[in-house]
Structure 1
């Protein structure tokens, strides 16, 4: 397994920049904890699947790190795992998983460098929406990598605020043969993409004038190699803020936007069917003209309210017109205490898998708290942060496709810490309406949609100075919207499960763990599978 060079380059660059930005001092907080780990896992199916008890041993090396200086913040949770299967039903496998988020102030309060990366796994057996527990048949999983990096400029000239930012993004899937998505294979499977995002704005806060104002714009482009897909979005707009009271303001904006999505045609055989590569991907016909998947331009506008009764609470809601019809967005954030946060977002945008995953990473704070599944070693989909920078990756990883789509929905995260106990909740719903050229090959894709519902509850409690317990409860329902016409005839998928683990420290470096869990997958059209899981392990922390 070969990791794309982009990810370690970004990780190393941010770590070096964090070190150079501010030498070690009394105000520098550095916590770097590398470790080695050995685990023994057993899986028994109570219902469906293979009756044989599957067992395997894992050896892992990882690091948890947090670096904070006056000018830099970097958080890392990374792990490499080698799995050794017992018997012929579980082959050996390598797995890389981790998260990185960093920000370095190159020029104090003016110029910063920001970046992030994720490495994780997804299912490729058609059971989309069941990524919570990637154990058992590891041949039906594949690696996903995504990263972004770029500078942000923020400065003032008198009362005028000037802002600019650029972000380069990259996303790669190693091998996605068999991923169940609406309209496959016509929808196309994802391989890799590069994206560029540039934004600018200039404006003033209320004060010098009775109202606040800003003028800004941006350019977004993504190129995906499958079918030579291209996304381009150019916009300019002006916004005003009209204070009504010290805590309430009316907000609104108007502008112009031009969005185009295009691709080349798929190579067809003599019968007119698409030709697929050995990885199940559509092959581009280089002689074909570019086909438009989406093309809209015109006036965009929105209006709404902004309510900020305190520095800990903020609510913004807007209604307007974008992408050719009505558009509704909003956000709510509340920090009732230093260790508690609530965040809710209502969204409506045009996305792709690569751009959406990059956006998820950017939504994380550098002080994220990523818990791991005790049986697979993977990072749990909902990543929490008491400062409000949490993120759930459930929806993004539930159904990967090579198509762009209109994404609308709502998501919410809650996290709190009190004494020895931490717990949190992530919930969400989204609908993706896929965009593709309206011709014979792609006709079944354009306008098809899926719906995804997810929830994850986690908690951990320190029992004493040497021991503690952790627990996770999760549920996901994926509705393909096409009555099981996906790969292998699999449509709707329900996945629920829970796990609990206990740890005990022996001295400062050695930790023993034990865990029990249950996982149920109920796909449309085939028998459901209910599995019981057990784990024991040892970790040595350097």
Structure 2
């Protein structure tokens, strides 16, 4: 349990510090969209309703898991859980947090119990109104690992007691945002430091004849940006800007380091009231390096007690990727109304063509569609930490109706709200990630619903002649979709449902594809003012080429919940 103290503290810190959401600055200031723009400062938002909402609870349930393949098995568990959902909404502070601890006590000779911490928190705190804010966020989640390194936030029911293919993922970040003005020039700067860790009992176990996969361990990422710009008409007809940014991720596996620094100038040209053309040009230097594995007397990599390959700290650093030179982009920003924004750019970066974009549309006050297109070089930790930083600050966590695990998306009416695309492969090698993610949420009377979908393409980067060399140039493609629904039935009952599907196409030899699909549904009914009964069912299936047999399991739950 001691390993979970730090993540609990991180979640609590994020809930208390409540950092401002990381989002792109107004495009009229001319800041580049992408890695840089995703971390620009933004002022806190306000909303109506109670300023502080805290809802702690405890649960006790009986759980039945029936596994149909690869072999027939029936296991029962007693599930005990405690958690809290909270939200703070104010003029200068705001955020949301959902934390849950769960203990599953197994019955049966072949069954294993488990304890799980899951939670997500995002928020902001204003230090100096309209000038200085602090943002923070944290994530703790259980994932299921498959034979080709694929990871999913939604484990199958049988994974409750299967520790060989499950892991805990933790990610946390915090940092200040600064905003100032000097005459017609608007100044913005920000800094963020984050940490991500994947805990497994051992590195991923694969069938005989298949090389073990080196699973990501942990990394620290730092991001800093600054930008100075004028708006069109203040004082020139066009807006001019200059800025720069720096990102560095240090990955423990093979002491990998991703370093990206850039400077650029940009211009904003108004075409009409709702449409502007934006363009920028600059210089960028990107480098990925690592050290080799420690070898034994026979020349084979040494494996540590955690199952991961040991890094030779005395080995020289080797360059895996080194690209520097001119970068540019050109695009448009279209804002026909306060509820619709489209941004799209095309340019050159990482010595090749690059595309970025976003679309945000709120057709009503109770519905929202968000789409983002991205392109970045990072490791697993940097990718997940950035996705966490881009979550909205007002949300309700969506959880598996039966296991209580976090879903791939949160329910929110603010921007992109999914983490599924940041998972995909959990290999330790760095990569260039390009993809698209979309999320739609709506509140219809007493019902809330949402769907998220996306595609992520990762081209791995590794130095020749090292233990990671086999990963260089290999491509993994991840397709995912998730859906959630909840509502009320009268004044004393309610329901919820979740479905998900994930398909990872791996380019690594002898690993193949992994396809996972599942659904769960739950019904709850109040017995007294604070005590309620609940029932849930779920079915899950994993089809993987790594294993001869697929995994299929069904689950059912009956329990009680007490809300304080």
| TM-score in terms of structure 2 length | 0.89
1:37-48 aligned within 5 A:
37-46=59-68, 48=69
Is the aligned partner of 1:519 residue 2:545? no
Which residue number corresponds to residue 192 of structure 2?
167
Does residue 1:431 correspond to 2:457, yes or no? yes
Task: State how far apart, in whole Å, the 2-side matches of 1:104 and 1:518 are.
Answer: 41
Q: 1:186 to 1:349 in 2, by over 3 A?
A: farther
After superposition, the Cα gap between the structure-2 partners of 1:15 and 1:100, relative to the gap in structure 1 and judged at 3 Å, is closer
Question: Separation in 1 of the partners of 2:227 and 2:293?
Answer: 40
Alignment of 1:438-453 (within 5 A): 438-439=464-465, 441-453=467-479
Q: Deviations over 1:196-221 (max 9, x none)?
A: 11111100111121111211111111
SS of residue in 1 equivalent to 2:155: coil
CA distance in 2, matches of 1:51, 1:239: 63
Deviation at 1:110? 0.8
What does the per-residue CA deviation read over 1:477-527, in whole Å, with 9 as the maximum and x for residues that have no partner?
A: 1111235x24xxxx2111111111111112331121111121111111522
Which of 280, 303, 317 aligns to 1:276? It is 303
- Output the CA distance in 1 between the equivalents of 2:229 and 2:6: 35
What's the CA shift for 1:111?
0.3
Moved more, 131-140 or 415-424: 131-140
Q: Report the CA distance between 1:168 and its aligned residue.
A: 0.8
CA distance in 2 between partners of 1:394 and 1:521 (Å): 17
In structure 1, C-alpha distance between the alignment counterparts of 2:14 and 2:502, rounded to whole Å: 34
Matches within 5 A, 1:136-215: 136=158, 137-140=161-164, 141-175=166-200, 177-179=202-204, 188-208=214-234, 209-215=236-242
Matching of residue 219 in structure 1 with residue 246 in structure 2: yes
Pick the aligned partner of 1:135 from 121, 141, 157. 157
SS of the counterpart of 1:276?
coil
The offset of 1:272, in angstroms, is 2.4
Matched position secondary structure for 1:356: helix
Separation of aligned partners in 2, 1:162 and 1:431: 35
Please give the per-residue CA displacement for 1:345-398, whole angstroms capped at 9, x wherever unaligned. 11111121111111111111111121111222211112221122412x223233
Relative to structure 1, is the Cα distance of residues 74 and 130 closer, same or farther in structure 2, using a 3 angstrom cutoff? closer
Could you say what the CA RMSD is over the residues aligned between the two structures, in angstroms? 2.2
The residue aligned with 1:328 is 355
Q: Distance in 1 between matches of 2:556 and 2:550?
A: 20
Among 417, 420, 424, the alignment partner of 1:390 is 417
Query: Compared with structure 1, are the counterparts of its residues 513 and 167 closer, same or farther at alpha carbon in structure 2 (3 Å cutoff)?
Result: same
For 1:50, what is the secondary structure of its paired residue?
coil
Secondary structure of the residue that 2:216 maps to in structure 1? coil
Q: Distance in 1 between matches of 2:146 and 2:363?
A: 43
1:356 aligns with 2:378: no
Q: Is 399-408 or 525-534 further displaced after alignment?
A: 525-534
Query: Which whole-Å CA distance do the structure 2 matches of 1:475 and 1:165 have between them?
Result: 36
In 1: Cα distance, 2:302 partner to 2:8 partner: 34
**Counterpart among 113, 125, 146 of residue 104 in structure 1:** 125
Contact 1:345/1:412 (<8 A) preserved: yes
Residues 452/270 of structure 1: CA separation in 2 closer, same or farther (3 Å cut): same
| Counterpart-to-counterpart distance in 2, 1:361 and 1:268 | 37
- Which residue number in structure 2 is paired with residue 378 of structure 1? 405
Once residues 494 and 49 of structure 2 are traced to their aligned partners in structure 1, the CA distance between those partners, rounded to angstroms, is 30
Cα displacement string for residues 436-485 of structure 1 (whole angstroms, at most 9, x for unaligned residues): 001253331100111111111111121111111111121111111235x2
- Tell me by how many angstroms 1:90 deviates: 2.1
CA distance in 2, matches of 1:5, 1:358: 20
CA contact (8 A) 1:176 1:190 kept: no
Asked if residue 295 in structure 1 is aligned to residue 322 in structure 2, the reply is yes
Equivalent residues in 2 for 1:490-505 (5 A)?
491-505=512-526
**1:11-50 alignment, distance < 5 Å:** 11-17=11-17, 29-46=51-68, 48-50=69-71
CA change 1:71–1:468 in 2 (3 A) is same
Q: Is 2:547 the counterpart of 1:532? A: no
Residue 500 of structure 2 is aligned to residue 478 of structure 1: no
**Cα distance in 2 between the residues matched to 1:90 and 1:395:** 32
2:435 paired with 1:409: yes
CA distance in 2, matches of 1:412, 1:274: 41
Quote the Cα distance in structure 2 between the aligned partners of 1:18 and 1:314.
26
For the Cα contact (< 8 Å) 1:124–1:176, is it kept in 2? no
Shift of 1:12: 4.0
3-state SS in 1 of match to 2:557: strand
Contact 2:17 2:123 in 1 (8 A): no
CA contact (8 A) 2:80 2:102 kept: yes
- For residues 187 and 531 of structure 1, what CA distance do their matches in structure 2 show? 26
Match of 1:2 in 2: 2
- In structure 1, what is the Cα distance between the partners aligned to 2:213 and 2:523? 44
Corresponding residue SS for 2:398: coil
Counterpart in the other structure of 2:39: none
Native 8 Å contact 1:340 1:387 kept in 2 = no
Q: Which residue of 2 aligns with 1:244?
A: 271
Distance of 1:315 and 1:531 partners within structure 2: 43
Residue deviations 1:254-292 (CA, integer Å, cap 9, x gap):
111111111111111233221111212111112211011
Q: Which whole-Å CA distance do the structure 1 matches of 2:255 and 2:474 have between them?
A: 21
Rounded Cα–Cα distance in structure 1 between residues aligned with 2:212 and 2:58: 44
